[in-house]
Chain A
Amino acid sequence: MKLGVPVRAAILSGALFLVFVSVWQLAVSGGATSTAGMDPEYAKLMGQTAKGASAVPGPSTIAVELLRHLADPFYDAGPNDKGIGIQMGYSLIRVLLGFSIAAVVAIPLGFVIGMSPLAYRALDPFIQILKPISPLAWMPLALYTIKDSSASAIFVIFICSLWPMLVNTAFGVASVRVEWLNVAKTLEAGRIRTALRVILPAAAPTIMTGMRISIGIAWLVIVAAEMLVGGTGIGYFVWNEWNNLSITNIIVAILFIGVFGLVLDQILAHLTRMVTYAD
């Protein structure tokens, strides 16, 4: 019996995962570092490493920890001990807020830039200079002017989500086919009606692609931003666990970040498909 490509791909994925997990388990369980001849005080400082096992946990340890987090994701035992669900929630809210504000600014502005060659030329130098700046470079400026760490993180997300949406909206609007605009003109459709009924749906796939790029970048940046501002969020959680030297929790957090990033991307991908038209 011949299996289809999707089934075979799934089997291969599963096999690769098993190989990866087995190698990982083997690598961390064997090869204990010897503590013989080491100063007992130094060995104590070195923690687990000195006890003879790797500080990197095996997949089984991760799985146990992962289940523990999933069993109680929303506990709150003080500022430095919150469930991973709460931390993830903080990060998500910041990303969605910053992203939404960026969309509210970028899409209308992109419309103007896309429709007016004058605005395009006038604003292009600013966009070209501001676009390549790492969003984290804005952080000190944001902290100084906004004077609120959480709002500064949102501002950083706003800044990093802005450019892909702005550039894609402008490009999408500018490349709406002339014939569709001519149809609207010969039908004496007003500016607003043309914008909403013709240009917006025509440019929607390009705009949505920009939004998808933006949410991806925002999700990359939030971890770093929260490491800097601290307090709450998944980025802070990772940094906090690093200070606790809990590699297990860091790996669990990494898995969560990956899964949530995938979900965000898929939501935007689905929305993009909804506005894409066959031509």
Chain B
Amino acid sequence: MSEKRFLISIEALSKHYPTPDGTGETAVFDNIWLRIEEGEFVCVIGHSGCGKTTLLNILAGLESASSGGIILGGSEITGPSLDRAVIFQSHALMPWMTVFGNVAFAVRSKWPTLDKASLYAHCRKYLDLVHLGENQDKRPAQLSGGMRQRVGIARAFAIQPKMMLMDEPFSALDALTRGTLQDQLLSICAETKQTSFMITHDIDEAIFLADKIVLMTNGPHAKIAEIVKNPLPRTRKRENMHRHPHYYRMRSHLLDFLVSRSKTFDDTIVEGGYDPRNPPIIEPGRTPRATLATPSAGEFTTAGPMESAVVR
């Protein structure tokens, strides 16, 4: 694969925090390597404390890495930038601005010289995209949780970033609203060919949205255990997604990881069996046994990657 196709390249990234007693350092994650192609939707799954949010914050430029770096489109990330937009977990709208004002604040940041009419048209376009055009003059406090998050989505997409970063954007919403918003997000991403990086701990959300699902082990010293390619076609629909032949295999593979393998992964690594630069890529339903850099199946007491990767 040629290097050019990758929009983002995370290279040897580590983040350390001083321990509370000040004597040493704990690594949240160590030696993380990940490449994201242009137009790709990547979800990161892992338990709380594995440094998912830290990773996203470093990508956003809000935190700095202890070592290693991230290359975006040929240059290293050194701080926040308008080429990366963030959709925050808690919408993070400015309550003193109207819905329109919130989006306009972002648009003005990207294009400071935009005239009033174009500004209006641009903001309105993105508010209509999330079906909130009619509510543009309301304050965030007058909106429901789902509507607020939609404003956050409109604000992020309105600056047309190269990279969309999402930190569990739907976790505070009820299931019904979450589903609707995922549908909208998927269609907007498809329409704009948006490269996206999303953190979640909702397996179904990851399966529905992602092209690739990155599994992170529990911290400290969290690492990328494997990258799961979503076998479901991009045209997947919520209604018929579960009928796909690989859906349940995929789902139980992810579930196994969250339930047990995220804890025990480190113990299952054999000498030379894990390369942090190239974590194993799993394609549920396709990956043949032999290509997996794992010990023989007999050594697993709990479900190994084989269990779900291999058709039974």
- Give chain A's interface residues, CB within 8 Å of chain B: 177, 179-180, 182-183, 185-189, 193, 197-198, 201-202, 204, 275, 277-279
Interface string of B207-224 (1 = CB under 8 A from A): 000000000000000000
A197 x B105 contact (CB < 8 A) = yes
The answer to whether the Cβ of B179 comes within 8 Å of any Cβ in the partner chain is no
**Assembled-state Cα–Cα distance A219/B298 (Å):** 84
CB-based contact A278/B92 at 8 Å: no
List of B residues within 8 angstroms of A277 by Cβ: 95-96, 139, 141
The residues of B that contact A182 with a CB separation of less than 8 Å are: 60, 62, 86, 88, 92
Cβ-defined partner of B80 (8 Å) among A185, A193, A197, A198: A185
Complex formed: what's the CA distance from A278 to B82 in Å? 28
- Nearest B residue to A177, CB-CB: B92
Among A183, A185, A275, the residue within 8 A (CB) of B94 is A183
A-chain residues with CB within 8 Å of residue B79 when the two chains form the complex: 185
Chain A residues, CB < 8 A from B80: 185-188
Chain B, Cβ-Cβ closest to A198: B94
- Asked whether B70 is an interface residue with its Cβ less than 8 Å from the other chain, the reply is no
- Footprint of A on B, CB under 8 Å? 60-62, 79-82, 84-86, 88, 90, 92, 94-97, 105-106, 109-110, 139-142, 159
Give 7 new A-B contacts, CB below 8 A, not counting A182-B62, A277-B141: A185-B61, A186-B60, A187-B106, A187-B159, A188-B80, A279-B95, A279-B141
Q: Kindly list chain B residues whose C-beta atoms are within 8 Å of the C-beta of A187.
A: 80, 82, 105-106, 109-110, 159
Q: Is the CB of B139 within 8 A of A188?
A: no
**Please, which residues of chain A bring their CB within 8 A of the CB of B60?**
182, 186
Smallest Cβ distance from A92 to chain B, in angstroms? 31
CB distance from B174 to the nearest CB of A (A): 20
Taking the nearest CB of chain B, how far is it from the CB of A189, in angstroms?
Answer: 5
- Determine if B86 and A186 form an interchain contact, defined as CB atoms under 8 angstroms apart: yes
- Minimum C-beta distance from B222 to chain A (A): 22
* B202–chain A nearest beta-carbon distance, Å: 21
**CA–CA, A183 and B159, complex, Å:** 13
The answer to whether A186 touches B62 (Cβ under 8 A) is: yes
Give CA–CA (A189, B81) in the complex, Å: 10
Docked complex Cα distance between A38 and B83 (Å): 95
Q: What separation, in Å, do the CA atoms of A88 and B141 have in the docked complex? A: 43
Task: Give 25 pairs: A residue, B residue, CB < 8 Å, sorted on A.
Answer: A179-B88, A179-B90, A180-B92, A182-B62, A182-B92, A183-B88, A185-B62, A185-B80, A186-B60, A186-B62, A186-B81, A186-B82, A186-B86, A187-B106, A187-B159, A188-B80, A188-B109, A189-B105, A198-B94, A201-B96, A201-B97, A204-B96, A278-B139, A278-B142, A279-B141
CB closest chain-B residue, reference A183: B92
Taking a contact as CB atoms under 8 Å apart, the answer to whether A201 and B94 are in contact is yes
Q: Which 9 A-B pairs have the closest CB atoms?
A: A278-B141, A187-B109, A179-B92, A277-B96, A277-B95, A185-B80, A201-B96, A279-B95, A186-B80
Residues of A within 8 Å of B140, CB to CB, are: 279
Q: Which of B62, B82, B85, B94 contacts A180 (CB 8 A)?
A: B94
Complex Cα–Cα for A139 and B69 (A): 61
Q: In angstroms, how far is the closest chain B Cβ from the Cβ of A206?
A: 13
Shortest CB distance A70–B (Å): 42
A180–B110 Cα distance when bound, in Å, is 17
CA distance A177 to B95 in the complex (A): 11
Q: What's the nearest-Cβ distance from chain B to residue A77, in Å?
A: 52
Residue of B nearest to A179 (CB): B92
Q: Tell me the complex Cα distance, A187–B84, Å.
A: 9
Q: List, in ascending order, chain A residues with CB within 8 A of B61's CB.
A: 185-186
Distance in angstroms between the alpha carbons of A166 and B271 in the assembled complex: 62
Q: A177 — which chain B residues lie within 8 A by C-beta?
A: 92
**A23 → B minimal CB distance (Å):** 49
Residues of A within 8 A of B139 (CB): 277-278
CB-nearest residue of chain A to B106: A187
CB-defined contacts of A201 to chain B, threshold 8 Å: 94, 96-97
Most B CB contacts (10 A, CB to CB) among A185, A198, A201 go to A185
Q: Which residues on A sit within 8 Å (CB–CB) of B82?
A: 186-188
Given contacts A182-B86, A277-B139, A278-B139, contact A188 B94 (CB under 8 A): no
The chain B residue with its CB closest to the CB of A189 is: B109
Q: What CA separation (Å) do A15 and B141 show in the bound complex? A: 42
CB distance from A197 to the nearest CB of B (A): 7
Residues of chain B with a CB closer than 8 A to A186's CB? 60-62, 80-82, 84-86
Residue pair B85, A278 in contact (C-beta under 8 Å): no
Which of B82, B92, B96, B141 has the most CB atoms of chain A within a 10 A radius of its CB?
B96
